[in-house]
Amino acid sequence: MSRVLVVGSLNADLVVRTERFPGPGETVAGADLTTGPGGKGANQAVAAARLGARAGVAVAMVGAIGDDDHGRTVRDAVAAAGADVAAVVVRPGTATGTAVITVDATGDNTIVVSPGANAGLAAADLPSFDDVAVLTLSLEIPTPTVLAAARAARAAGTTVLLNLSPSAAVPPELLDATDVLVVNEHEAALLGDHPVARSVVTRGAAGCEVHDPGPDTVTTVEAMRVDPVDTTGSGDAFLAAVAVRLAAGDDLADAARYAVRAGALAVTVAGAQLPVVGEDERLRFGL
């Protein structure tokens, strides 16, 4: 089997739905607070495991949690999806990362993250990359750890897939060690000209744009039309889907075509993690 490795964050998501976001200094009424598993890394691992099961792609997760109920809940959710969590380390005396999320009536969200144990994930926690086809990385863990993972994976011949989210400045060395860069249009604007030859720029309901050297340098991929419920985990589902299809042997444009469908499915339900769906829904979304 091909293998995808996710090195990233595990969070407890504290979510409240409200009709609209409050302005500065304003209080608005919200629905009941819900708590569920999240974190960009955990979301990616869950989505990759659920999508990869049919493609012959195994998934493993590397991350850090606290020795608390939140940590056990999010780790168990990743494991239940079918991902290997043996490399998720437990930090006694440290809280598991937490995200405070507000979702409005249109499905848009605001997110504030307290990193907790994620901030302590170090290069020493990384495994060997010798049997890994694709590595996915994002920025809810320390940048030096992201860079160490990218360099080690590149040296092992692993394809490095980097998502610059949450948006932050990164050292040029990290971009140099990246094979495929995934950014939204706002992050792309901050970067300027494409610093990584192979990249995907996501545009929400407008789909995405694939940059890949070759006869067709730029490919536009249209999004599926759905009624959004919660957009919190759509980007993570998209990234996971790209990773799975690259590991299965697709080219980048075909992987992106598959990924927009996974992202569309993700926004049709509340919560940050790609849901389990029946055969009818799989066929409807082409997954």
Q: Where are the beta strands (DSSP E) in 57-178?
A: 57-66, 84-91, 97-103, 109-114, 134-137, 159-163
Cβ pair 99, 38 in contact under 8 A: yes
Pairing of strands 84-91, 57-66: parallel
Return the H-helix or E-strand segment holding 198: strand 198-202
Q: CA-CA distance, 35 to 46, in Å (whole number)?
A: 17
- Structure tokens, 277: 């769906």
Among the listed residues 1, 98, 131, 121, the one whose alpha carbon sits nearest the alpha carbon of residue 57: 1
Active site residue 68: no
Q: CA-CA distance, 180 to 161, in Å (whole number)?
A: 5
In this structure, is the dihedral angle defined by the CA atoms of residues 175, 181, 182 and 187, taken in order, positive or negative?
positive
- What's the 3-state SS for 68-96? CHHHHHHHHHHHHCCCEEEEEEEECCCCC
- Write down the catalytic residue from 125, 212, 236, 250: 236
End-to-end Cα separation, the chain, in angstroms = 19
Active site residues: 236
